[in-house]
Amino acid sequence: MRLVSGEIVELPLAERGVRLSNGFWVREVRQLEASGHQVAMLATDYRRVLDGVAAGLFARWCQENFFQYMGRHYGLDKLVEYATEPLPETTTVVNPAWRRLDQAVRRERAQLQRTRAQFGALSLPAAAEAEAVACYEQRKGQLLEQMGQQQRRLDELKAQRKEAPRHLTLKELPEAERFTQLRTSTKHFVDTIKLIAYRAETALVQVVRDKLQRADDARALVRQVFHSAVDLCPEPENKTLTVRLHRLSSAIHDAALEHLCAELTATETVFPGTELRLIFEPVGSSSLPRDQES
């Protein structure tokens, strides 16, 4: 099976048709893992071959993992500004009047169900006295009358909800009930920067993978490097800017850090706005010039 990334893998797959509780038929695709556990996925793509459906579902998981990671570590879903802008008048939205009627229907239906439960819970003992029987019959009559009134109100609300259009264009709504949206221009610009930063992080992770086997460990190490303190040691006479990174928590991480520094230094990147070539090295791998010692 060819994944969306172009990688070719062998996976034990099977499929069958499944009918949901609402009568809708879907394709159920199952993958058998090495542990014997089966991963089940549902799809509505009836034309694509089995391996194509599985690849698409696996790609969907990758997208969900990506957005979860970006939301956790890059704040992708956070507000950038509180300014708003109008929506296009042709935008289709839920009719506020229909929504209010729908809420009223749900509320009245819940009250009716509670009254029916009270009516059903009433019971008369076998050897009840005449006074108890009279109270029982009176309470039953009150609940029956209450259920009748609630049922009539529920029917009226359903009729009103049926007459009200469920969706309207924004232009058809009253001015006071029209929607606005958060301004998107700044948000899109900041999100673009975050995506570029994520791609840079991913490139560094691929470098660290030369020393660490697991991708999660490599990404965690790169995040640790981003949050650690550094020493900046400019040498204008040599046109270099040395970035000295502090050592990490274990020897294997220090080895990965040294490898990362060597790869970054080999790029001979010039710091923007200057003529200083960047040199990356862990603390302790070299000594500072005497004129820069504190």
Q: What is the mean pLDDT of each run of 10 residues along the chain (294 residues)?
A: 77 91 92 88 88 84 88 89 88 93 96 93 80 86 93 96 94 87 89 94 93 89 90 93 89 91 94 93 62 46
Which pLDDT score, from 0 to 100, does residue 289 have? 45
Task: Quote the pLDDT of residue 294.
Answer: 44
Whether 122 and 203 have beta carbons less than 8 Å apart is answered as: no
Tell me what pLDDT residue 286 has. 52
**Half-sphere exposure of residue 26: CA atoms within 13 angstroms, side-chain side:** 14
pLDDT of residue 51: 85
Distances from the Cα of 281 to the Cα of 127, 218, 260, 286, 287, angstroms:
94, 18, 9, 8, 11
- 32 DSSP 8-state letter: E
- SS3 label, residue 270: strand
